[in-house]
Amino acid sequence: MPRQFAYYPGCVAEFSSKELNATTKALAPLLDIELLPMPAATCCGAGDVAEAKPNLYLTLNVRILSEAESMGVDILTICNVCTLNLRRANKLVKDDPRVLEAVNEELIKAGARPYQGTVEVTHLLWFLATEEGLSLLEARGPKGLNGLKVAPYYGCQLLRPSSVMGFEDPDRPQSLERLITALGGEVADYDSKTRCCGFPIILAREEVALKESHVALAGARDAGAQVMVTPCPLCHLAMDAYQRKTEQLMGEEYAMPVLHLPQLIGLALGLPTKTMEFKRHLVPVDEVLSSVGA
Amino acid sequence: MPATTFRIFRYQPDSSEPEPFHQDFDLEHEEKLTLLDAILRIQNEQDGTVAVRYSCRSAICGSCACKANGKTVLACMTQVEQVKAESGEEIVRVDPIGNFTPIKDLVVDMTPFWEKFKAVKPFLIPDGPAPEKERLVPKAAMEKIANESKCILCAACYSECNSLAADPEFVGPAAFAWGYRFAADERDGQRKNRAKLYSGEHGVWDCTRCMFCNERCPKGVDPRDAIEKLGSIAFQEKVTHDKGARHAKAFLISLRSGGKLNEILIAPYTDPIGAPFNAPLALRMAQKGKLPKSPLTHKVKDRDQVKKLIKNVKETI
């Protein structure tokens, strides 16, 4: 019996970065996971709604949690930002029954199902980087990454604030490293793997954002990485889609392909490259594919 | 008795060795020893020229922030053995806080920090004539700003702010925590003016949400949350001209119209003037299928509920 999750891919994976959604869906049966759709789930607000209208942010996110609760399963995410927003809302209502009551009043008034507080929110990375997840990968007999030198890039919101996220030490995370090693890759370690990609302000403060993503890209390049891997589609957009702009701004070359986490796993498990839709990347990944014999 | 090597950042621009370097000092010590006591013992017993700023030794003056194995801490409330255990390293590297210019060893030039602090007007500016007696404030009103009132201006947040590293003019987390502390104080009469003051080019909308400030603050102030609440005050006061505020508005419009993000809308709505200059990138993204082909919004099931929530839910900051 596969492990069932309410699947919350988030807006970016559903639209701009469809390759992430497609790869995750293709990977799920190989990992004995069943991804149940959440047809009523809205956008999490990406931190922007929390900034403009915090009570509305909380209510909308609790509505999402409540949909999963009605399905009787926990939520699986594939985006740092969605994970933080959903977990933060969950913590706010679980920590204070008065907050939950006030949110539920609004939900009931709007005809939505009230929330009991029974759902957990986990990211695919967290699910896979546990003993259970690693044994699922091992059971697939991965063909491996052929020593591919991979720079793990965590970004911010899957690590911090640790009071909300709490899966691992936010300063010395190891989950991506564990996966890369288990899949036969080599870790390219560098300090800026936990720094910000700048994406949240890339449309409003492009230059500041690109200077931030430069720190991460240059760190991975200088560590000798052949490729970066990230658990977040927003980091991916900043590093992949905007990479040429960052090169132009900083007068540097990175030539750094960036993979979504499920794509790296898919390569190691031998998913067809067509399924993972690498053609949608702006920085070509051809050398990565040939390096792992895909 | 444990022994530890402290690798301390040295910078003595007036000395015969003016370039920065790291110097090792070995210390035998009891199991319990704070990082500040270790530095002071080194200063007293081994090298009196090691410069460090400190005062209260009890985590209230905010003077002794530094980096221990890369992580900004208050030296007086950090145990040496804890640094070693957390970092997995036997050597404790001690550096000055980040995003500042060192003056001497661990002492940095705090001038930009204080200038930005002053710029947010960190004091009450009441409206109207002074009352005859004191202003009474209900407890619940003070609870709204209790977190931010704990700030001791140690600059641990500023030290690792990713937006500041990219834009040294960004006002930064500590100053905005104080800005919120006064903007949300019911005795203050400058809520709208403060919203305007904090919404400038290097203001609240510069925050990249890296969350380092919340993670590092030794007093639990959560400066990022304060910045977020200042954004909300800006919305309530209708100070939403900034591109950052427009970006947030685009999310609200998307939610109202379908429930999910409308990617056709977000870039031109955020920056109607600048977006056309990004046409080459937009074209490259479109060629790769990264931009939606249809301007139609993505509609979720039961979106009448979402519309009702948007209409009904009241903000309370």
pLDDT digits (tens, 9 = 90+) for B222-276: 999 999 999 999 999 999 999 999 999 999 999 999 999 998 899 999 999 988 8
Hey, are the CB atoms on A209 and B242 less than 8 Å from each other?
no
B206 touches chain A (CB under 8 A): yes
- Is B255 within 8 Å of A60 when comparing Cβ atoms? yes
Of A46, A48, A196, the CB nearest to B208: A196
Write down the mean pLDDT value for chain B. Answer: 95
Neighbour count for residue B272 (Cβ, 10 Å):
11
Cα R_g (chain B), whole angstroms = 24
* Residues β-bridged to residue A249: none
For residue A81, pLDDT beyond 80: yes
Output DSSP code: residue B66.
E
Where along chain B do the CATH 1.10.1060.10 domains lie? 110-236
Closest chain B residue by Cα to residue A103: B313
Q: How many CB atoms lie within 10 A of CB A283?
A: 16
Does domain B110-236 bear CATH number 1.10.287.130?
Answer: no
The shares of helix, strand and coil residues in chain A, as percent rounded to the nearest 5, are: 50, 10, 40
Q: What's the CA gap between A86 and A64, in Å, rounded?
A: 8
Q: In Å, how far from its chain's centre is CA B276?
A: 32
Nearest to A11 among B229, B260, B271 (CB): B260
**CB contact (8 A) between residue B251 and residue A41:** no
How do residues B94-151 score in pLDDT, each as one tens digit?
A: 999 999 999 999 999 999 999 999 999 999 999 988 889 988 999 999 999 999 999 9
Please report which confidence band the pLDDT of residue B277 belongs to, taking 50, 70 and 90 as the band edges: confident
Antiparallel, parallel or unpaired: β B3-10 and B91-95: parallel
ipTM score of complex: 0.96
Question: What is the location of CATH 3.10.20.30 in chain B?
Answer: 3-108
Confidence of residue B80 (pLDDT cuts 50, 70, 90): very high
Q: Is the pLDDT of residue A51 over 80?
A: yes
Q: What is residue A93's predicted lDDT score, i.e. its pLDDT?
A: 98
Contact residues for A221 (Cβ-Cβ < 8 A; gap 6+): A254, A255, A256
Q: How many helices (H) and strands (E) does chain B have?
A: 14, 7
The domain locations on chain A are 3-123, 140-291
Question: Could you tell me if A243 and A209 are in contact, meaning their C-beta atoms sit under 8 angstroms apart?
Answer: no
Containing A121, the helix (H) or strand (E) segment is strand A121-123
Average confidence (pLDDT) over A197-210? 97
Q: Do B315 and A157 touch (CB under 8 A)?
A: no
CA distance B172 to B210: 12
Q: pLDDT tens-digit profile of A211-230?
A: 999 999 999 999 999 999 99
pLDDT at A141 exceeding the cut of 90: no
If we measure between CA atoms, which residue out of A53, A164, A70 comes closest to residue A115?
Answer: A70
Residue B275 is predicted with a pLDDT of: 86
Q: Is the pLDDT of residue B297 over 80?
A: no
Confidence of residue B295 (pLDDT cuts 50, 70, 90): low
Inform me whether the C-beta atom of residue B135 falls under 8 Å from chain A C-beta atoms. no
Q: Could you tell me if A198 and B208 are in contact, meaning their C-beta atoms sit under 8 angstroms apart?
A: yes
Of the candidates B20, A219, A191, the residue with the CA atom closest to the CA atom of residue B7: B20
Give me the helix-helix angle, A18-27 and A261-269, nearest 10°.
Answer: 40
**A201/B207 touch (CB, cutoff 8 Å), yes or no:** yes
Residue whose tokens read 């895909």: A294
Percent of the residues in chain B that have a pLDDT greater than 90, as a whole number:
90
The percent of residues in chain B predicted with pLDDT above 70, rounded, is 99
Tell me the per-residue pLDDT of A3-48, one tens digit each, with 9 for 90 and over: 999 999 999 999 999 999 999 999 999 999 999 999 999 999 999 9
Task: Count other C-beta atoms under 10 Å from residue A132's C-beta.
Answer: 11
Interatomic CA distance for residues B293 and A205, integer angstroms: 26
Is A108:A114 a contact under the CB 8 Å cutoff?
yes
Q: Which amino acid would we find at residue B287?
A: Q
Looking at the domain A140-291, which fold is it?
Answer: Rossmann fold (3.40.50)
Across the A:B interface, residue pairs with CB atoms under 8 Å apart total 214
In whole angstroms, give the CA distance from residue B235 to residue B239: 6
- The candidate with the shortest Cα–Cα distance to B202, out of B239, B184, B175, is B175
pLDDT in tens, A86-108: 999 999 999 999 999 999 999 99
Kindly list the residues from chain B whose CB atom is less than 8 angstroms away from the CB atom of residue A208.
163, 166-167, 170, 206, 208
> Could you tell me which CATH class the domain A3-123 is placed in?
mainly alpha
Cis peptide leading into residue A161 (ω within 30°): yes
User: Binning pLDDT at 50, 70 and 90, where does residue A294 land?
Assistant: confident
Tell me the chain B residues in contact with residue A54 when contact means C-beta distances shorter than 8 Å.
Answer: 228-229, 232, 315, 317
Q: In chain A, where does DSSP find H-type helix?
A: 11-14, 18-27, 48-52, 54-71, 80-95, 97-109, 124-128, 131-139, 175-182, 206-222, 233-236, 243-250, 261-269, 286-291
Mean of the pLDDT values across residues B41-48?
98
Report whether B255 contacts B299 (CB < 8 A).
no
The stretch B187-212 carries a mean pLDDT of 97
**Who among A169, A209, A245 is closest to B281 (CB)?**
A245
* Three-state SS at B245: helix
Q: Where are the alpha helices (DSSP H) in B130-206?
A: 139-143, 156-160, 162-166, 173-183, 191-198
pLDDT of residue B300: 95
R_g of chain A, CA atoms, integer Å = 19
Mean pLDDT of all residues in B201-217: 97
Q: Are B254 and B289 in contact (CB under 8 A)?
A: no
- Assign a CATH topology to domain B3-108: Ubiquitin-like (UB roll) (3.10.20)
Secondary structure (DSSP) of A252-287: ------EEEHHHHHHHHHT--TTTTTGGG-SS--HH
DSSP assigned state of A186: E
The structure tokens 């400058």 sit at B190
pLDDT at A18: 96
Average pLDDT of span A153-157 = 97
Is the pLDDT assigned to residue A265 strictly greater than 70? yes
